[in-house]
Homo-oligomer: A and B are copies of this chain.
């Protein structure tokens, strides 16, 4: 009521986001309608509408006129986070994903990981190195560091069934991501792991993901230059119509 506090539409949004992230509302579940929110929380319909409309704009829910509002499913959610799951990308292309774990241990932070995760050098981190295969062809070497406090059970997961990124998302919604893309020659170990030609460069993505306003994971992702590319598409929010191009061949989306 008093305008000094957090606006009511914002409180509504956070309430619903909380219900989603705790799992109380699952993908494709129905979210309370505007009228139900009016009745249950006492706000006016315009306020309920704004909350749900913004959640829709932000990708958390899908609204269908005449039907209802529903929690966005996993694909849409990963779009919101802009952290694509390589297993999903591969299956979108109709191929099989598998993973070879190279290393799984607690290791001291190196200088770069320490800086990215805001911890001291040599602070203990959970480290996982694995190769993602697309129909048995290696496509990504993932070298990941995770803050132990964030996901103590990280290394105990069976990463044949879930990617590290997907597991971390399940622990807590990842709120922010920063990535850097560059081209570099691989060292010999990386080249061998990815079954690359001599003189073939890597597309290297380093990504830091945030949860609870803190960096919780840092990953270096190495991809064979001849078998991998990133693509992104931008259209201004207003212009929905124009050009809908189909997804292309063997590439990983990014945006």
Identity of the chain B residue whose Cβ is nearest the Cβ of A184 in the assembled complex: B225
| Complex-state Cα separation, A231 to B178, whole angstroms | 7
Interface residues of A in 89-118 (CB under 8 A from B): none
CB contacts (< 8 Å) of A83 on chain B: these are: 234
Do A229 and B199 have beta carbons less than 8 Å apart? Answer: no
Do A229 and B17 have beta carbons less than 8 Å apart? Answer: no
**Chain A residues within 8 Å of chain B by Cβ, number:** 51
- Extra inter-chain contacts (10) besides given A58-B237, A183-B202, CB under 8 Å: A14-B238, A17-B238, A57-B237, A176-B239, A176-B243, A178-B233, A178-B245, A181-B229, A183-B225, A184-B225
Tell me whether A177 is interfacial, beta carbon within 8 Å.
Answer: yes
Do A203 and B176 have beta carbons less than 8 Å apart? Answer: no
| Complex-state Cα separation, A251 to B242, whole angstroms | 32
CB distance from A4 to the nearest CB of B (A): 14
Do B182 and A230 have beta carbons less than 8 Å apart? Answer: yes
Do B182 and A199 have beta carbons less than 8 Å apart? Answer: no
Do A210 and B242 have beta carbons less than 8 Å apart? Answer: yes
CB distance from A106 to the nearest CB of B (A): 26
Do B242 and A213 have beta carbons less than 8 Å apart? Answer: yes
Identity of the chain B residue whose Cβ is nearest the Cβ of A180 in the assembled complex: B231
Tell me whether A166 is interfacial, beta carbon within 8 Å.
Answer: no
Do B178 and A203 have beta carbons less than 8 Å apart? Answer: no
| Complex-state Cα separation, A176 to B203, whole angstroms | 25
Identity of the chain B residue whose Cβ is nearest the Cβ of A10 in the assembled complex: B238
Interface residues of A in 174-217 (CB under 8 A from B): 175-185, 199-204, 210, 213, 215
CB contacts (< 8 Å) of A223 on chain B: these are: 183
Do A242 and B183 have beta carbons less than 8 Å apart? Answer: no
Do A228 and B182 have beta carbons less than 8 Å apart? Answer: yes
A201-B184, A242-B213 given as contacts; is B178 within 8 A of A81 (CB)? no
Do A235 and B183 have beta carbons less than 8 Å apart? Answer: no
Tell me whether A232 is interfacial, beta carbon within 8 Å.
Answer: yes
- 7 smallest CB-CB distances across A and B, nearest first, come from A201-B201, A183-B183, A183-B225, A182-B229, A183-B203, A82-B234, A183-B201
CB distance from A237 to the nearest CB of B (A): 5
| Complex-state Cα separation, A231 to B239, whole angstroms | 25
Tell me whether A171 is interfacial, beta carbon within 8 Å.
Answer: no
CB contacts (< 8 Å) of A230 on chain B: these are: 180-182
User: What are 16 pairs between A and B in contact, CB < 8 Å?
Assistant: A54-B237, A58-B236, A58-B237, A81-B234, A82-B234, A175-B242, A176-B233, A176-B243, A177-B234, A178-B232, A180-B232, A181-B203, A181-B254, A201-B201, A201-B202, A210-B243
